Structure 1
């Protein structure tokens, strides 16, 4: 029964030998094709040079993969010693690493290169969207000061009107020194208010331009067609958007607000009291001193608010780096695990066939070891036994002594030493398997 199973396994190994070679050839060819597609995206030069260089590289990869797995499939299943099998496993591991290095990552680039480039562009769009929003917020931060400036300007204008109409501050109506000073402060704050309002229009215009560039970039990411021309146009949009972001940072009115706030206090020039009476002049001096203190407080508040705005972290300069499909697959490898698994499987699937053959040959050896010697004797051993029998018959020698005289160097290394079994096979040669 064991003999029949061993023969069936041996027949199976012979039957699948052609299929094994065909499978190795197809897998090596498939790997070469995808390697060609991947390496073509990395080469520069004329189309003819790129074509032939990619063909030569991919052909070398196909031949190397086929030769490597053919050697492993031929020798590994027959290596039985632990040291020798360990050495073969080490060689196999080294070969697999080299195959992955020269082929698998290029196969992954061919399988998922376009998708990886689109992901790179999509993430770049998100980064620049965040930069544009941040630059826009920084540029509009000074707009939060506008209500306080308007309120202070209106208060100075209202006090000037009240002083002119009813003498609310000095008790004397008319357009004197106090009215002039209040009108002067209201006018300065009004100019600052107008500057902030004008900057809002400029910021809004730049922000609209930036959003238009972002919309174009998003459309390029999701558009069908080849990725290379879309990537080139995407790069041009990135350059334009970077200029918009830079302009937004330079458009901030916060530095101007800080200078204007300091001018309110440091550049405060009170007019000379113009009252004819000494009492009126004293009242005017007192009111102008109060106005000076109020302006100083307002200047400090505006200056502190401007400092808070200027202390905001500016938008860091960002550079868009175009990637090849192979580089994109390596950078975003974690997002394309199925593509990597397929690319590596094409190259390393023959290892499964090798291990199958190793298991089958191991089973054949174990089954043959359990067979009786008469079923395991080879044709050469049988012929040698017959030769011994003829020599004994001619010389009339004792069989056991004749066998003991046989030179051990002339026998195979695994030749049996069971005298009884050999004696039986010699005396009854027809009972053993035919040569």
Structure 2
């Protein structure tokens, strides 16, 4: 190929960087193999020797495959000029890139960001457990909102009983009769219900304190530097204990107990028999007890409705911590580790840039050069045969360029020579008087005279 100056410089530069290209490709393949080894080692189970040799073999296979694939692409893609063939090579290169990412890139990412991804998984799980503990604590304390209503009802019944005993505010007759006994009974039941709600508060606080301590330990495990595997095991143990505390908190809630107690107020209402000395007093006592029954029924309905609202709150679902390998964690939380993924993929696919550069440079050299590919590859024997054929074609009267016989050229008739004009007398005399020694003798005439005399060499 006859190269122009610029194309010649490009060709020389490509030859100059060929060694550097091979060296760079080898280094990239080796780096990918090393990180693949680190990534695949965390996925294998078995003895230490088995894991070591299996990871070494896999990483070596990956390095050889990457080096061989990109060597083929660097060799062939720049030389192909046909559009269809080049598209086919590009499709092949795309398939190879996908296969390289499938067998190496995600393991490289696991090696680069595996520990951080595992810690991310632990942190996300910790946040979920913290939310579950808060929700269970809130559900357990929701029944505490009923305590003011229960205490107020108990105080109201106790106050009515005192008023009836001292001034006969309800029946018009002082003393401790059936009405006072009923009101005192309702007040006592309300105080018992209030005591139940209040007693659960201490137990809820204790369990929440234990859960908070477990969360603090889990936070330390997430943030403590060092190997992530033992920390993940300890984290899982703490997560199990915390799940038990959350379940206990949900069982500590007294909303269901308040609902049952409020239903018993109305369903289990037992009114004493009127004990008035006169029929009029007995009648008044019966009327007051009916009023108390209606009041108790209304209070029971209100407490039941409030308890139903608390019970309608969704219960906390049991959460379970599932340990993940570094590779699985990188795949699950890939959005948080995009820079690591970019570096892992770039190690494997950086030769794409080299392939494109060589393709562009070779296209530029082809555009700036004159095509003499046959002359670049001809041998000496082929050159001699071509020259002999050329002479034969010339002798046979064949046009070399077209390969057709040359047309015969008929010579044009020469005009008849006219007699020479008479020379002047002086010229003729001069020519006659010229001595023989001054006559011009050509080499051909000298040779002919020599042969005529027989002095020269005779032909064999």
TM-score (norm 1): 0.88
- Asked if residue 109 in structure 1 is aligned to residue 110 in structure 2, the reply is yes
Show the 5 A alignment for 1:303-342: 303-342=304-343
Question: 1:399 Cα shift?
Answer: 7.3
* Structure 2: distance between partners of 1:168 and 1:224: 75
Measure how far apart 1:402 and its partner are.
5.4
Partners of 2:80 and 2:393 lie apart in 1 by 43
> Residues of 2 paired with 1:94 and 1:57: CA distance?
20
Question: Over residues 173-228 of structure 1, what are the superposed CA-to-partner deviations in whole Å (9 max), with x where a residue is unaligned?
Answer: 22211111111111111110010001111111111111111111111111111111
Q: Distance in 2 between matches of 1:383 and 1:96?
A: 47
Provide the residue aligned with 1:397 in structure 2: 395
Q: Which residue does the alignment assign to 1:377? A: 375
Q: Which moved more, 1:191-200 or 1:383-392?
A: 383-392
> What's the offset of the Cα at 1:39?
0.7
Q: Which moved more, 1:170-179 or 1:305-314?
A: 170-179
Deviations 1:231-269 (A, max 9, x none): 111111111111111111111101110111011111000
Q: 2:369, 2:180 → 1: CA distance? A: 121
**Higher share of residues assigned helix:** 1
Alignment check: 8 A CA contact 2:393 2:400 kept = no
Structure 2 residues without counterparts, runs of 5 or longer: 405-460
- Aligned CA-pair RMSD: 2.1
Q: Does 1:85 align with 2:102?
A: no
Residue of structure 1 in register with 2:303 after alignment: 302
Note the residue ranges of structure 1 that are not aligned, 5 or more in a row.
407-435
- 1:350-396 CA distance string (max 9 Å, x none): 11111111111111211223x7x6x9832617864554334555786
Matches within 5 A, 1:131-146: 131-146=132-147
Would you say the 8 A contact 2:100–2:348 is kept in 1?
A: yes
Say if 1:179 and 1:383 are closer, same or farther in 2 by CA, change over 3 A: same
| Partner in structure 2 of residue 241 of structure 1 | 242
Q: Does structure 1 conserve the Cα–Cα contact (< 8 Å) formed by 2:113 and 2:337?
A: yes
Counterpart residue number, 2:408: none
SS at match of 1:271: coil
Q: What is the match of residue 214 of structure 2?
A: 213
Distance (whole Å) between structure 1 residues aligned to residue 67 and residue 44 of structure 2:
25
Distance (Å, rounded) in 2 between the aligned partners of 1:290 and 1:243? 47
Distance (whole Å) between structure 2 residues aligned to residue 5 and residue 327 of structure 1: 52
The corresponding residue for 1:411 is none
* TM superposition shift of 1:14: 1.4
SS of 2:378's equivalent in the other structure is helix
Give the equivalent residue in structure 2 for 1:414: none
Deviations 1:138-181 (A, max 9, x none): 11111101001001101111111222222222222222111111
Q: Report the CA distance shift for 1:377/1:313 in structure 2 as closer, same or farther (over 3 A).
A: same
How much has 1:403 moved relative to structure 2? 6.3
Distance in 1 separating the partners of 2:368 and 2:155: 107
Match of 1:162 in 2: 163
Taking structure 1 as reference, are residues 101 and 399 closer, same or farther at Cα in structure 2, changes over 3 Å only?
farther
Larger displacement relative to structure 2 (211-220 or 147-156): 211-220
In the alignment, the residues of structure 1 paired with residue 107 and residue 191 of structure 2 have an alpha-carbon distance, to the nearest angstrom, of 66
Report what 2:119 is aligned to: 118
Report the CA distance shift for 1:144/1:391 in structure 2 as closer, same or farther (over 3 A): closer
- 2:393, 2:399 within 8 Å by CA — same for their partners in 1? no
Partner in structure 2 of residue 409 of structure 1: none
Are 1:392 and 1:398, in contact at CA under 8 Å, matched by a contact in 2? no
Whole-angstrom distance in 1 between the partners of 2:252 and 2:107? 47
Task: Give the secondary structure class of the aligned counterpart of 2:85.
Answer: helix
Check conservation: 1:114, 1:227, Cα contact below 8 A: yes
Greater shift after overlay, 166-175 or 187-196? 166-175
Q: In structure 1, what is the Cα distance between the partners aligned to 2:394 and 2:277?
A: 167
* Corresponding residue for residue 343 of structure 1: 344
User: Which secondary structure does the structure 2 equivalent of 1:56 belong to?
Assistant: helix
How many pairs were matched up? 403
Which residue of structure 1 lines up, in the alignment, with residue 362 of structure 2?
361
* Equivalent position of 2:150 in the other structure: 149
Bigger drift between 151-160 and 316-325 goes to: 316-325
* Superposition deviation, residue 5 in structure 1: 2.0
| 3-state DSSP of counterpart to 1:70 | helix
Deviation at 1:278, TM superposition (A): 2.0
Corresponding residue for 1:49?
50
Is 1:65–1:347's contact at 8 Å kept on the other side of the alignment? Answer: yes
Shift of 1:78: 0.8
- Cα distance in 2 between the residues matched to 1:293 and 1:254: 23
8 Å contact from structure 1 (residues 118, 227) kept in 2: yes
Instruction: Determine if contact 2:126/2:218 at 8 Å carries over to the other structure.
Output: yes
- Note the alpha carbon deviations across 1:393-427, whole angstroms, 9 max, x for none: 57861575456669xxxxxxxxxxxxxxxxxxxxx
Task: Note the C-alpha offset of 1:85.
Answer: 1.0
Structure with bigger gyration radius:
2
Q: How far off is 1:279 after superposition?
A: 2.0
